[in-house]
Structure 1
Amino acid sequence: MINSVITGSGSFIPEKIIKNIDFLNYKFYDEQGIFIEKPVHEIIEKFQEITEIEERRYVDDKTFTSDIATAAAERAIADAGIDKEEIDYVIVANNYGDIDPVYRQVDNMPSVATRVKNKLGIKNNRCRPYDMLFGCPGWIEGLILAHHLFQSGTAKKALVIGADTLSRAVDPHDRTAMIFADGAGAVILEAKESDKAEGIISYDTICDSLDEMTYLVNDKSLKEDYEGSQINIKMRGRKVYEYALRKVPALIKRVIDNSEVEISEIKKVLLHQANAKMDHAMIERLFKLYNITEVPDDVAPMTVQKLGNSSVATVPTMYDLIAKKQLGNHEFNSGDNIVLGSVGAGMNINAIVYRIP
């Protein structure tokens, strides 16, 4: 059988640390555009209580999404030990392309994937660059796309990257600005023949795009006379929270059940992380679907407290850190079954059961 397996991983975590106290001079407005009179330190304390986010990482003004995507890619290629000219597809999940640090102009022509291929110096013109615009689940959907390409026999190696610089896409007058961060993660996915199932075992994706499409959008600032970008992330937090709890655990359960793996055999659940409260609730609800009330302590690694929400980069960065044994005591062992799952703008949800080779 042809398996789709990760043979190398890499990530790029910006050096610039932004702590919660760095938002003390911000002036926040509510959804109706009314200035919030509450002291900012109280807003920040409440924010941290809910999200558990203490700090996040931002890129410097000279660095773009395609730069950090390339850095993560170079590390993944080196880790896999492959020749970059053997790569059939460069798939880059992102949301905004490269964003100008001053004018906040979004630039995605040519695509980020094309820019990454250029910066990697790949000469092979049979290496096709794709951008995956799929909200926060984009990197996982990139893996699913590559898996289909492998199964069709049209490819054997894919570089799948998740990269965003969301610090340039936030409204500084919106409290949700404190959630978002920058980062990149990448893997080399390869088609490998084997007599046993490993790598991507099962997967599924759903999209609800009626009223749900308004839960995460771009819009003008909450401050009426703001002179910055008109392209700012707007998140209806309560709607996203309710939607995620209602739909994500059920989809993950379906993917686990289709894999014919028992929930007790799932060693890790790597979830996209917008805020810790939502992730804790989704994990608890997933296990309750199996009539399990005690969630294993180490099943759901977390990075949101220190890295914030880096969108498409969250799950691949977490994967890379665990693969390199750089995330606490978490580690992967051969034969482990893990879940990769995400929810985001669209609204899109996807999940994969992946068996470590």
Structure 2
Amino acid sequence: MPIYSIITGSGKYIPEIIVKNESFHNRNFINEKGEKLEKPVPDIVSKFQEITDIQERRYLNPELNTSDMAFFAAKDAIENARIDSESLDYIIVAHNFGDILHDNIKSDMVPTLASRVKHKLQIANPDCVAYDLPFGCPGWVQGIIQANYFIKSGDAQRVLVIGAENLSRIADPHDIDSMIYSDGAGAVILEAKESEKALGILCHKTRTDTLNEAHFLKMDISYHPEFEDNTLFMKMNGRKLYEYALNTVPALVKATIDKSGVPIQKIKKVLIHQANAKMDEAIIQRLFKLYDQRLEDSSSIMPMTISKLGNNSVATVPTLYDMIIKGELENHHINSGDHLVFASVGAGMNVNAFVYLVP
């Protein structure tokens, strides 16, 4: 009998510190040329909210780190699935910067965050393999894709896939893009299920573009010419990234849906990386246009959390799923028999998606 991968539990960790847009009104914003932006800062912040829909975001407490968030989300998912953590075959942690101390913003990735999570969970089983996956914002989706391969090959019965990121500590305080970034973690338990009928993960697709696109997201020094040191911060070519996403994500998602054989009309939810509300809206509209369909209102099919949680990279999609499945997102529900699309785009540049049939 065929083996499929199904989600049996989910969890998340949303940091306690709420940072509203008004908190940025005293910032000294500078452009990539080292010049102070001429517009009044409140006007810059207002325009930023209009484009991204971000009203507030969450920052991690100073005494905590990325691996702590990953552990909290993992524990939540394990309890939700009602499983013994010793039964896990793999722990995959998607992230991009490792642990970053509040007062020493350098990436710490030894040991891996996955090993740290396994240690925090006090798992003794040596056959539980723990490893990290740095793949830009699409890292968690790619972790699910890898876990699915382990399960379908018979190598695993149960996999924990986590997405955790602490972007607030690697954001240039003088860059307006710093207002986008936030912190958080999400996780799911993926398990093997024998079934005569297809269910769970039906298919997937991933692409990587590097010829001209590799450095749309990169690390570089502060825009402020008199910044105190040469600390590296995450930098984004917003215009190029926006164009790339619109040119690649809708086509890749369509190819994934077509591969599954599921009609677009049967897709109940598109859980997309919470990068930028305007960009995500353009992506979903272009996707339906590729099917010669007109989408009057995207709010029912494309749930959004970015207005309150910001963009926490690999954590956006699993957190979004967990909130819906636990009834924490108003007007959104996931039911047995629903077809879902999970999709993401980010540094690399990478784009991926999978189609999921809820058992």
TM exceeds 0.5? yes
Shorter-chain TM band: over 0.9
1:355 aligns to what? Answer: 357
C-alpha distance in 1, partners of 2:139/2:19? 25
Per-residue deviation, residues 202-236 of structure 1 (Å, max 9, x unmatched): 10000001220110011110012212562211000
1:325 aligns to what? Answer: 327
Q: 1:277 to 1:77 in 2, by over 3 A?
A: same
What TM-score does the superposition give when structure 2 sets the normalisation length? 0.98
Per-residue deviation, residues 35-72 of structure 1 (Å, max 9, x unmatched): 11221101101101110100000011001000010000
1:162 aligns to what? Answer: 163
2:273 aligns to what? Answer: 272
2:46 aligns to what? Answer: 45
Q: CA deviation at 1:294?
A: 2.3
**Residue 312 in 1 paired to residue 321 in 2?**
no
1:19 aligns to what? Answer: 20
Per-residue deviation, residues 228-247 of structure 1 (Å, max 9, x unmatched): 56221100000000000000
SS at match of 1:212: coil
Per-residue deviation, residues 285-304 of structure 1 (Å, max 9, x unmatched): 00000111124540000000
What TM-score does the superposition give when structure 1 sets the normalisation length? 0.99
1:335 aligns to what? Answer: 337
2:6 aligns to what? Answer: 5
1:298 aligns to what? Answer: 300
Counterpart contact for 1:104–1:229, Cα < 8 Å: no
The 10-residue stretch of structure 1 (218-227 or 300-309) with the greater mean CA deviation from structure 2: 218-227
- In the alignment of these two chains, the number of paired residues is 357
Matches within 5 A, 1:24-173: 24-173=25-174
1:185 aligns to what? Answer: 186
SS at match of 1:31: coil
SS at match of 1:105: strand
Q: State the 4+ residue runs in structure 1 displaced beyond 6 angstroms.
A: none
Query: Which amino acid is 1:19 matched to?
Result: K
Identity of aligned pairs, percent?
Answer: 55
**Residue 209 in 1 paired to residue 210 in 2?**
yes
Query: Which amino acid is 2:349 matched to?
Result: M
C-alpha distance in 2, partners of 1:301/1:228? 40
Question: 5+ residue gaps in structure 1?
Answer: none
C-alpha distance in 2, partners of 1:2/1:283? 31
SS at match of 1:316: helix
C-alpha distance in 1, partners of 2:353/2:98? 24
C-alpha distance in 2, partners of 1:293/1:114? 47
Q: CA deviation at 1:32?
A: 1.1
SS at match of 1:317: helix
1:197 aligns to what? Answer: 198
Per-residue deviation, residues 64-115 of structure 1 (Å, max 9, x unmatched): 0000100000010001111100001000000100001112111010011010
SS at match of 2:105: coil
Question: 5+ residue gaps in structure 2?
Answer: none
SS at match of 1:273: coil
C-alpha distance in 2, partners of 1:123/1:228? 42
RMSD, aligned α-carbons:
0.8
Counterpart contact for 1:287–1:295, Cα < 8 Å: no
Query: Which amino acid is 1:158 matched to?
Result: V
Query: Which amino acid is 2:13 matched to?
Result: F
Query: Which amino acid is 2:176 matched to?
Result: R
Per-residue deviation, residues 128-168 of structure 1 (Å, max 9, x unmatched): 11101000000000000001111221111100000001000
C-alpha distance in 1, partners of 2:306/2:227? 29
Q: 1:229 to 1:266 in 2, by over 3 A?
A: farther
Query: Which amino acid is 1:99 matched to?
Result: I
Q: CA deviation at 1:15?
A: 1.1
SS at match of 1:56: strand
SS at match of 1:221: coil
